[in-house]
Each structure stands twice: as C-alpha cells, then as structure tokens.
Amino acid sequence: MQELRINTSFWPWIASCMVVAAVMLTAIVAVAFVVPTETTMGDAQRILYIHVPVAWLGLLAFAIMAGAGVLYLLKRDLCWDHWAHAAAELGWLFCGLTLITGSLWAHAAWATWWAWDPRLTTSFILWLIYSGCLVVRGSIHDAHRRARISAVLACIGALDIPLVIMATRWFRGIHPVSPEMEPSMRVVLALCAVSFTAFFVMLLSRRRVQMHFDELLGDLRQQAEASHLPVSNADTCLRNTTFK
C-alpha cells in the first residue's frame, strides 16, 4: 500500500488565523468602546452587533449546504457533500446562536423571552430543518446514500430562506424591518458582519478538509483490511499528511 503524502505548509493557515483574529478583536473593541449607547435600550442594544452577523451566517450556511447538495446530485462527487456537511454543522450552530441572541434582545426590548413573531418562527423552523438534516446524516452509513438524501432535504429546506428574509415585510409582526442606526453604528455592524463571515469561512474550510481526510483514512483502513495488513498501517500512511 502506497504512503499518502501531501506537502503543504501551515504558515498560510496561521497567517489567516492571525488576520481573522485581529479583525474580530477590532470589531469587539469597537462594539464595546466606539459605538454610542442607544438611548432607549441602553447597553442591551449591543446584542444587535452579534445577533445580525450570526443570523446572516445561519442563512448563508444553509444556502451553501443547498448549493453543494445540488452540485453533488449533478456530479456525484463526495467532495461537495463534505462542503454541505460542514456548512450544516456550522449553520446549525449559528442558527442556534441567532435564536439565543434574539431571545436576549426580545427580553430587553419586548419584556418577553419569546414571541411567535414571523421572523422568529421561520428562524426556529430553519433551525429544526438543520437539526433534521444532521440527524439524517448521523443515521445513514452509506456515504453516497447519505449525501443523496441530505442533498434533497437541503434543497427542500432552502425554501425557508426567503421566508426568513422577507418575513418582516410579508407578514405583520413585532420584529423590526430595519432598525434606525447612526452612521457609526452601521459601520461597526458591517465590521462585525465581515469579521464573523471571515471566521465562518475559516471554520468551514477547515471542517471540510477534516472530513476529506476522514474519508481517506476510512478508505486506507478498508484497503488494509482487504490486504490483511494491520489497520494501524492506514494511520501510518496519513501520519505525514498535513492539511491544505
């Protein structure tokens, strides 16, 4: 069995981590010390600078999941399923953070932790769809069958994305369409969105690479078993492999 070697360097990865960390630190400092305090809600209004970026990423991740699912259905390449799976995990996390920060905002603004507002309801449905997709992935062992079913579910679930986006315009609710903000607030909000998006992209790419190498390791173990070699030899083949 041939040894798998992929010559890459960690320096670009370390540099990208440092850049993302610097941008996120700048955004946090700006939220804490630069933006003015809102007169009505006070410091509770600063939740907005976390809530909006994570809500945006929850939608973006599902769009990536559905897009990667379509590409898998067209090409039958598990690489696209790795992208979809990574996006599903991160999207579930960010969508959950959207609901948590939204509840904190609702308690400060409306004196209630939850209201069946159209925007909140459609966001909760999106989180349930995320959860269902991950449960399905965990219950199917065949890789291509799992990818195929997950892709179909993602394409169907993507119908909820326009409902989340347009809920405040299509339906009557208490969620603000676009809150009034001073120019400095909008700049900091944009900075937070950019920093969180960069962090999301970094996590997405790393998780996709990890899944790719998990698949390679599984294939090598199957080859080792078929060749009557110790399974540990498969781990040895990836010992010198680095992420790229």
Within a domain: 34:
no
Q: List b or e across 118-129, with b for residues whose CB sees 16 or more CB atoms inside 10 angstroms.
A: bbbbbbbebbeb
Q: 32 lies in a domain? A: no
Q: Could you tell me the two tokens for 133?
A: 């997709």
Residue 126 forms part of a structural domain: yes
What is the tally of structural domains in the chain?
1
Give the percent of the chain with pLDDT over 90. 43
In a domain, 17, yes or no: no
For residue 190, the enclosing domain spans 43-237
The answer as to whether 66 is a domain residue is: yes
Look at residue 80 and tell me if it is in a domain: yes
Q: Is 65 helix (H, G, I), strand (E, B) or coil?
A: helix
Q: Which residues contact 141 (CB under 8 A, 6 or more apart)?
A: none
Residue 52 in any domain: the answer is: yes
Count CB atoms within 10 A of the CB of residue 234: 21
Q: Tokens for 205, please give them.
A: 């790419």
Q: Is residue 77 part of a domain?
A: yes
Token reading at 90: 């991160």
d(CA 153, CA 218): 26
Could you tell me which residue, 57 or 171, shows the higher pLDDT? 57
126/95 Cα distance (integer angstroms): 8
Tell me the per-residue pLDDT of 81-115, one tens digit each, with 9 for 90 and over: 999 999 999 999 999 999 999 888 888 877 788 88
pTM above the 0.85 mark? no
pLDDT of residue 226: 67
- Specify the pLDDT at position 230: 59
**Integer Cα distance of 74 and 84 in angstroms:** 14
CB 134 within 8 A of CB 89: yes
